């Protein structure tokens, strides 16, 4: 996690590596995005460090059915209190629609059946909550990428915001990710968990699984996915409920 690498240790590691590179020609170093990052020219350290050292495209570990946790606890809100979601739950989510809007060419309102009809991905992964617990579960759903391709992102789109049905003290839960995580192969809109439709407590009818990040990024009760060019001006401006409310890091890569 973020505490492992300091700017100082990265700079010295980079300097050591640079010695070898320099032998091969310093022009190569100048254009190297990783090196530009170490010089402080690129994005914030934590996110850049992950991309540099292990790659943001790397897969999260997957497990076997024998390794599934016997109990996968619920956390945070376990039942939205908004009337719209409650009415939809009462009718088995028959009227539920996932809205895809913002910077897309074709705004969509997808019923659950449309998500179920897309090619499915199933993965057994470990969920890590910052509060200090982990659990291994199986998740199934279409890749977020498939839904984004249906809607067609506009060129200015940089972030996907997940608007949820639940609130804490009147503030809606929301989360956001960038396009690297949105198109990551393990980023799915999960409607099944452990071989059964997603339970209410785990985010029915659909939740985000963004397996390379901590638990709070995995938005439950997703109602709307909004493509944006910036996160500023949205609620507290930090890109997520816990980021705004408690200073959690927006990029929660593990």
Nearer to ligand MTE, 52 or 252 (CB): 252
- With a CB cutoff of 8 Å and minimum separation 6, the contacts of 104 are 148, 151, 152, 153, 154, 157, 227
Residues 9-68 binding ligand MTE (CB under 6 A) are: none
Of residues 254, 220, 214, the one with CA closest to residue 131: 214
Is residue 160 a contact residue for ligand MTE (CB under 6 A)?
A: no
Both structure tokens of 61: 């570990």
Contacted entry of Mo ion, ligand MTE, none for residue 164, CB cut-off 5 to 8 Å set by kind:
ligand MTE
Nearer to ligand MTE, 67 or 171 (CB): 171
Both structure tokens of 132: 């200090």
Contacted entry of ligand MTE, Mo ion, none for residue 218, CB cut-off 5 to 8 Å set by kind:
ligand MTE
Other CB atoms closer than 10 Å to residue 55's CB: what's the count?
A: 10
Nearer to ligand MTE, 51 or 213 (CB): 213
Q: Which one of residues 77, 125, 176, 213 is an interface residue with ligand MTE (CB under 6 A)?
A: 77
Torsion-angle region of 3 (φ positive above 0: left; ψ -120 to 50: alpha; else: beta)? alpha
Contacted entry of ligand MTE, Mo ion, none for residue 77, CB cut-off 5 to 8 Å set by kind:
ligand MTE
Is residue 173 a contact residue for ligand MTE (CB under 6 A)?
A: yes
What radius of gyration, in Å, describes the C-alpha atoms of the chain? 20
Q: Which one of residues 110, 153, 164, 189 is an interface residue with ligand MTE (CB under 6 A)?
A: 164
Of residues 1, 97, 56, the one with CA closest to residue 183: 56
Where do contacts with ligand MTE occur on this chain (CB under 6 A)?
Answer: 73-77, 129, 164, 166, 173, 201-203, 215-216, 218-221
């Amino acid at each position: 996690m973020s505490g492992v690498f300091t700017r100082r240790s990265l700079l010295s590691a980079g300097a050591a590596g640079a010695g070898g590179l320099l032998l091969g020609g310093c022009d190569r170093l100048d254009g190297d995005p990783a090196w530009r990052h170490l010089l402080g020219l690129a994005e914030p350290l934590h996110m850049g460090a992950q991309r540099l050292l292990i790659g943001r495209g790397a897969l999260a570990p997957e497990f076997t059915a024998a390794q599934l946790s016997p109990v996968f606890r619920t956390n945070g809100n376990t039942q939205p209190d908004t009337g719209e979601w409650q009415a939809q739950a009462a009718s088995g989510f028959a009227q539920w629609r996932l809205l895809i809007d913002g910077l897309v060419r074709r705004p969509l309102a997808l019923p659950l059946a449309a998500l179920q009809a897309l090619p499915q991905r199933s993965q057994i992964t470990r969920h890590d909550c910052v509060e200090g617990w982990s659990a291994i579960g199986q998740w199934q759903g279409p890749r977020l990428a498939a839904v984004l391709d249906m809607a067609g992102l506009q060129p200015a789109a940089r972030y996907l915001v997940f608007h949820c049905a639940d609130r804490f003290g009147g503030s809606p839960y929301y989360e956001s990710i960038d396009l690297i995580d949105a198109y990551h192969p393990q980023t799915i809109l999960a409607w099944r968990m452990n071989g059964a439709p997603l339970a209410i407590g785990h985010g029915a009818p659909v939740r985000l699984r963004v397996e390379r990040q901590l638990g709070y990024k995995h938005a439950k009760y997703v109602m709307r996915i909004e493509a944006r060019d910036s996160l500023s001006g949205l609620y507290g401006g930090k890109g997520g409920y816990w980021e705004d409310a408690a200073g959690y890091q927006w990029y929660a890569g593990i």
